[in-house]
Chain A
Amino acid sequence: MKKSQKEPLFHIVKRDVLPWYKAWGIRAIAIVVALIVCGIITTVTTGLNPLKVYGAFIQGAFGSGRKVWITFQNMSILLIISLALTPAFKMRFWNIGGEGQVLVGALATAACMITLGDKIPNVLLIIIMSISALAAGAVWGLIPAIFKAKWNTNETLSTLMMNYIATQIVAFFTIVWEVPKGSFTVGIINQSTNAGWLPQLFGSKYLLPIVVAAVVTASMYIYLKYSKHGYEIAVVGESEKTAKYVGMKTGKIIIRTMVLSGALCGLAGLLLVGGINHTITTTINSGQGFTAVMVSWLAKFNPITMIFTSFLIIFLERGAGEISTNFGLNQSFADILTGIILFFIIGCEFFISYRIAGRKSSKEN
């Protein structure tokens, strides 16, 4: 190499692990910058005072008691789905089929409510509903897992295809069960008898998903951190070769983890149909299977951190929703803002794991 070659102005160096407060400081800065950019964009497109825009954000998420409950209810559903995907992601199995797994869980729940409602005691019905929703989700996770374990089929695409297959099956049953005929909607199931509706906790219809989410978060944290299964998942994720070398059956681990992942998504489907909406549509999950991927990744697959990231996403969604309804914009405005904020958070990870070294400091090394 020639001596005269110019040394670049700066170069990129990998950092040691940052202390957590610095890492979160960088993330906080990114979110603040993102919010400023979002404010500017909202002002430009709507001509509003930016302070009013932020006010509307908070208004949308916490404006009234009911809004606070809905915010936390939505957050808990998103949290459950994110937690469901997490063990799979931890072993580098890119399960983006959460959408489909939730849908089949929802479908199984609705099927039980419609066919068995009023024929058997309510307690028995709810037990059967729960089992079938979990089983349906598990099967939907199992199929791509078997392909992956046996033939190393690309899981990103196979789970994606499973989503669309699930959507079409739900569309099929929506027409089979439609009330009234020709409306293409199922309507509220068992509205008069409330058969199969999940019980209300302490008289609040919003509390059940929140409690379930709390339980799932705690158990997932323990499962991943302290159980043998969790350890095996971590090893497979770090290096499949190492796992094979120490005698772990990677195929078995993949299948087991995906069954768990799918079953938890099925649980989210159960809550959506049995506890919240009491009906089924193809869009009942409104893309949360995809959003959950980002929630889980932003939290670095840590169940506790996921509480904050799912809150952040839902807060944005509700806030942007409020802006769109107040100022007559269309609902997709929320997607744009969410997208921008995600870009910033994704980008800031770079500054956590790398630093830019100037020319001078590189000479000192």
Chain B
Amino acid sequence: MFDIVAFIPRAIGQSVPLLFGCSGEIITEKSGNLNLGIPGVMYVGGISGVIGAFFYEQSCAGGDMNGFLAIMIPLLCSLTGSLIMGLIYCLLTVTLRANQNVTGLAMTTFGVGIGNFFGGSLIKLSGADVPSIALSRTSAYYSKALPFAANLGWFGKIFLSYGFLCYAAFLIAIVSAIILFKTRAGLHLRAVGENPGTADAAGINVSKYKYLATCIGCMIAGLGGLYYVMDYASGVWSNDAFGDRGWLAIALVIFSIWNPLIGIFASILFGGLYIVYLYIPTGMDYMEFKELYKMIPYVVTLFVLVLTSMRNKRENQPPASLGLSFFREER
């Protein structure tokens, strides 16, 4: 009936973009910046990678592709794209002290627009009949599973059958947890997010930490977009396919109470919830109920949001200055 060995890899595949977005946003929020532009950043990360891969594939249309370049070019393009988005956000909210919610929403409009516009243009350039670009050759490098995954049965399928970005997602989450909670830089970063005035008085460069945390956070989140196109969707970019995963990633930050380690489990849970509607039997006559089952992740998030606020434990609260700009001369 319910094939758990097939379900888990799919759930994990779904969870990776969420985990990238969630880790990135946790680092950002720990510096006191609530970046609602993450959905846009993830689109930009995805499309920048696609643009890089597209032109590289075109340039060696006849010949063989160099595996190293095939991976590095989209990766670097994606990182640069999301870094630029991070810099725009920081320039507006940190240097120019703009309202973070409004800036974030504008970034999302802008980023999704960039994704769909350049996606649309590339589709035209490639002259395809279907409204999507297929970069299957680049994707082959990205989704290459570990070599011995195939001969290890269910173990190989559940643990070893993913592309390298998937393992990178888990690694980044673990490393960022260590940096946030075990190092001096992490301590400073958390101080900036809790009370920038005090951090400033202690000699911490508040703007530098905010810039660094937000830009690194954006670059991590952008990788989520890249993973989605290159690995999960097997190199097929179609407009709006990435959907609302960016918003879900922001919700996950709360779900995981600002801890990337909890974020790992939370994102796998959400990855499962995201596709669980495919597994609930409805029959052909009741297709409409599938739409109701798609609601599950959002209802669960809302529920958890309310629960964590009800319990109101001190260590589970958001950074105290989240969403506020810092101006030294303001009392």
Contact = CB atoms under 8 A, between A and B. Distances in A.
Given A14-B330, A94-B101, A162 B302 contact: yes
Contact of B113 (A175, A336, A347): A336
A151 B309 contact: yes
Contacts of B107: 339
Contacts of A13: 329
Given A293-B102, A297-B102, A335 B298 contact: no
Contacts of A94: 101
A175 B329 contact: no
B251 A153 contact: no
Interface stretch (A122-130, A166-174, A218-226): A166-174
Contact of A165 (B112, B113, B247, B298): B298
A158 B302 contact: yes
Interface stretch (B92-100, B139-147, B218-226): B92-100
B116 A294 contact: no
Contacts of A157: 250-251, 254, 301, 305
Interface string B237-274: 00100001001001100100000000000000000000
B117 A96 contact: no
A347 B99 CA distance: 10
B118 to A, nearest CB: 9
B64 interface: no
Interface in A114-171: 147, 151-154, 156-158, 160-162, 164-165, 168-169, 171
A110 to B, nearest CB: 15
B299 interface: yes
Contact of B251 (A96, A161, A350, A354): A161
B157 interface: no
B292 A168 contact: yes
B88 interface: yes
A165 B301 CA distance: 11
Contacts of A349: 96, 98-99
A291 B158 CA distance: 42
A332 interface: yes
Nearest to B240: A332
- Interface centre among A154, A176, A297, A334, by most chain B C-beta atoms within 10 angstroms, is A154
B31 interface: no
A332 B298 contact: no
A164 B292 CA distance: 11
A308 interface: no
A290 B294 contact: no
Interface stretch (B66-74, B165-173, B283-291): B283-291
A336 B114 contact: yes
Interface string B75-117: 0000000000000100110011111011101111111111111
B112 A332 contact: yes
B292 A172 contact: yes
A353 B88 CA distance: 20
A112 interface: no
A152 B308 CA distance: 10
- Interface centre among B34, B111, B117, B299, by most chain A C-beta atoms within 10 angstroms, is B117
A330 B105 contact: no
B181 interface: no
Nearest to A335: B113
Contacts of B239: 330, 332
Contact of B302 (A14, A161, A335): A161
B120 interface: yes
B309 A96 contact: no
A164 B305 CA distance: 15
A161 B252 CA distance: 11
B55 interface: no
Contacts of A331: 116
A176 B106 contact: no
Contacts of A70: none
A287 B291 CA distance: 20
Nearest to A94: B101
A165 B294 CA distance: 9
A48 interface: no
A338 interface: yes
B42 to A, nearest CB: 15
B294 A168 contact: yes
B54 to A, nearest CB: 16
B201 interface: no
A283 to B, nearest CB: 10
Contacts of B91: 347
B295 A335 contact: no
Contacts of A37: none
Nearest to A184: B287
B198 interface: no
Given A335-B117, A338-B110, A346-B98, 12 more contacts: A158-B305, A161-B302, A162-B302, A164-B247, A165-B302, A176-B288, A332-B112, A332-B116, A332-B120, A335-B112, A346-B106, A347-B96
26 contacts: A12-B327, A12-B329, A151-B309, A154-B254, A156-B101, A161-B299, A161-B301, A168-B292, A168-B294, A173-B288, A293-B101, A293-B105, A294-B102, A294-B106, A297-B102, A332-B239, A334-B113, A338-B113, A343-B88, A343-B103, A346-B96, A346-B99, A346-B103, A347-B91, A349-B98, A350-B96
Interface of B: 34, 36, 88, 91-92, 95-99, 101-103, 105-117, 120-121, 239, 244, 247, 250-251, 254, 287-289, 291-292, 294-295, 298-299, 301-302, 305-306, 309-310, 312, 318, 327, 329-330
